Structure 1
Amino acid sequence: MLWKPDVSIYELAEKENGPPSPYLYITHYGDVIMEDVLTVITSCSMDVYKFPFDTQNCHMTISSMVHSNSEIKLIASSNSTRITQQSRRILKTQGEWDLLNMTVTGENMTFEPGTWDIIKYTITIRRKPLLHILNFHVPVLFFLVLDLASFFIPDNKGDKISFKVTILLAISVLLLILNEILPSKSFKCPLIATYIIFIFAFMMVSLLETILVAYLTEMDSAGEEREKNSITTRKGTSTSEKDEKRRRGSNSRTSSGVNSTSQSLAGMGLGGAGEMVDLHFLQMVVQQVQDLRENPPSLAPRAQRYYSRVAKRINTAFILFYFCSSSLFLIVISVEWMD
């Protein structure tokens, strides 16, 4: 008959017993050694602030629930260095974590009936960040570069706005995937969430700026179209009036023009040569002068291009602001991650 102490793990969440060992070791000193293989799942409080460059410290506390230290003495069989070496030699899995070290400490826990011995194992592990960098950091950075490159698309192209909206939708998909990976409870907002949210905000402001520039450019285009329509209407009205006047006084203008022209040329000594002057050419010159008087050149298109100039200045200033602020943000969050 063998008595087994009630040793339990405080952080135990799930336990799976392995095959029981049929052997016992009894020394000549009276010591009885018995080994059991257990597969346990324990709870661990994780700090994912620097995810995926985070390091976690998980504790496993072993103690007796019933017997105090006056009845059971719990003593670690190995020191921290030896336990770490053995664990690294046994742990052969190529998972998401790297085992840094294990420490073992002996403590006492005092309650009113008595004092209990506790053995606490602290397991320090570090996450392997390469997969998360390739899945999240690099794509988000590529989307930011694409959004910066979209400023070189002409403003009169309608594809510019749709291109920026597509990038925003892609960032939204990455946010949904990240929400499934990160734990729901954390002491601080993870840096990777701040990283994606700020870049999403940059792209949203960039989209609003593109809409504003397109609106200002469209105002100029609409003003120029209205001016062209008004000029065409005025020309049609003035042409009909001029035709009517030309039919009424064509004879008087022609005779007076010929007489005045002949007199002026005769006074200059040209005599009969003045009679060969092309009257049709003179009528064309007079007609053009009258057209300039009735329809002076309009300065409206030049004034209407004011909105285009404003849009160009806003676009240039925003590109500089966008590039400087995004670069500063990437530098700050990189330093915070690697600190």
Structure 2
Amino acid sequence: MWLLLLCLVVDGLPGASLYQTCKQYDVVEYLNITERESLLLMTIPKSDWTKPLIISVDVLFISILAVVEKTQTITTYFWIYALWKNDFLSWDPKQFCNISHITLPLSYLWTPDLYLLEQVAVNTPQWMTYANLSHEGLVTAARPTHLTSTCVLDFYYFPFDTQKCSVSLVSAMHRERSLVLKSLKNSSDMNSELFEYFVDNGEWIPLEVKVEEKIINGYSRLLYTMVIQRQSSLYTLALILPSLCLLALDLLCHFIPKSYNEKVGFKITLLLGISVLMLLLNDFLPASSDNPPVIVIFFIGTMTLMCTGILETILVMYIGGRMIKPESTCTGTFPLYQGLLLKSPSKEINLKEEEHSPEDGVLSSLERIRRDVHLMREQILSMQSSDKLETERENFQEKMEKVVFYCHLTLVSAFYIVVFVKWKW
């Protein structure tokens, strides 16, 4: 008897039937979603048509996959979280064991038509299969997005450049009086959580993210602006430092002693090396640009300075060669030992005459010896004069080369100071 009375008392207490309703299925059955599926999908889920439906959006940036300079596009990966209220789906958690959230297939619910205006690739992202529904009727849906969008890239400071790219999230069909987009976080909150889930791909890193709420042409719009910076270490090591090394070798050619032909050949080899680096640079920069980047000016200036160095070396060789002309030899003179080794027809006649006149033969022999000694003396003096002139010419070329080198070094220093100032180093 007492056991029966106790069971009746327990059945009469509040919450005695909790064991029969503590299931999410009971909430779904209470909401009657399956039978109202067509109505829940057709129209905006709001009861007061005089007020717009507020869509709260949060964007979580994950990675910057690629920035293509040639096509002026940027590829990013991020998640879009949308939150809105469905006025026709709510329940009292106290009646269902305090169940305040359930998960439903999103295909049973109305979803906002959110599009990204800057998208250029055919990649239509889909909402996740399931959505979260709270007891107040708040629906939370997520959509992973792999976006390739247009971005006006400025390469003036390449590879030390920062880019600013914008993405506009907008409803394609619903105007501002029906649907308004709001951001769940402001710019400062987004920047504080920017690197929490961001995956660095090695070349680009985000600096700042801004979000703005705008009404353009009667449509509500969320404008996300991301400022990104290029990590320039690879380009510095692969392009800029090799160019500076080639130019340094070009300047060090000045210290090659008295070998202008080797200097010119070595300088031309260095010029071919800088040409190869310019071909590599052409793969990174766009085909057309209204304002040439600083790095283009850097390479063109470096090549011009190296060409100027070659012209300076040729000029020194030309002026040194034209400065002193060799003196013309006197009429009747001949090379050393020519008078001793060769005999002219007149000498043969004299020799024949010597056979008949011994005194004349002795005199003619002495005359020939005297003449040969005179010619040897002139030859020796001429060789000494040539050595002296050659020494003077080399000294003049050395002085001229020093003056040209210091002028060239001053020009190189001034050019690179201007370039590095433009790069804002």
Pick the TM interval, shorter chain: 0.7 to 0.9
Matched residue, 2:197? 90
Matched residue, 2:239? 136
Pairwise CA RMSD of aligned residues? 3.9
Q: Distance in 2 between matches of 1:231 and 1:18?
A: 99
Please give the TM-score of this superposition, normalised by the length of structure 1.
0.75
Q: Which runs of 5+ in 1 are unaligned?
A: 256-282
Match status 1:196 vs 2:303: no
Q: Which of structures 1 and 2 has the larger relative contact order (alpha carbons within 8 angstroms, sep 6+)?
A: 1
Matched residue, 2:408? 322
- Aligned residues of 2:170 and 2:222 also touching (Cα < 8 A): yes
Distance 1:125 1:229, change over 3 A: farther
Matched residue, 1:186? 289
- Aligned residues of 2:116 and 2:170 also touching (Cα < 8 A): yes
| 1:21 to partner: Cα distance | 2.0
Output the amino acid matched with 1:69: E
Structure holding more helix per residue: 1
- Superposed, which structure 2 residues align to 1:176-325 within 5 Å? 176-218=279-321, 224=326, 232-233=334-335, 236=338, 287=370, 291=374, 297=381, 301=386, 308=394, 311-325=397-411
User: How many equivalent residue pairs?
Assistant: 306
- Aligned residues of 1:56 and 1:126 also touching (Cα < 8 A): yes
Write the deviation string for residues 187-225 of structure 1: whole angstroms up to 9, x where unpaired: 42111111111010000111122223334445579x559
Q: Distance in 2 between matches of 1:20 and 1:73?
A: 19
Matched residue, 2:64? none
Tell me the SS of whatever aligns to 1:11: coil
Tell me the SS of whatever aligns to 2:291: coil
Q: Which runs of 5+ in 2 are unaligned?
A: 1-40, 42-108
| 1:179 to partner: Cα distance | 0.5
| 1:287 to partner: Cα distance | 4.3
Match status 1:338 vs 2:421: no
- Aligned residues of 2:260 and 2:313 also touching (Cα < 8 A): no
| 1:91 to partner: Cα distance | 0.8
Counterpart of 2:206 (choices 90, 99, 105) is 99
Sequence identity percentage: 26
- Aligned residues of 2:260 and 2:317 also touching (Cα < 8 A): no
Output the amino acid matched with 2:400: I
Q: Distance in 2 between matches of 1:228 and 1:96?
A: 77
- Aligned residues of 2:213 and 2:223 also touching (Cα < 8 A): yes
Write the deviation string for residues 243-283 of structure 1: whole angstroms up to 9, x where unpaired: 8999999959x99xxxxxxxxxxxxxxxxxxxxxxxxxxx8
Q: Distance in 2 between matches of 1:56 and 1:105?
A: 18
Q: Distance in 1 between matches of 2:243 and 2:164?
A: 29
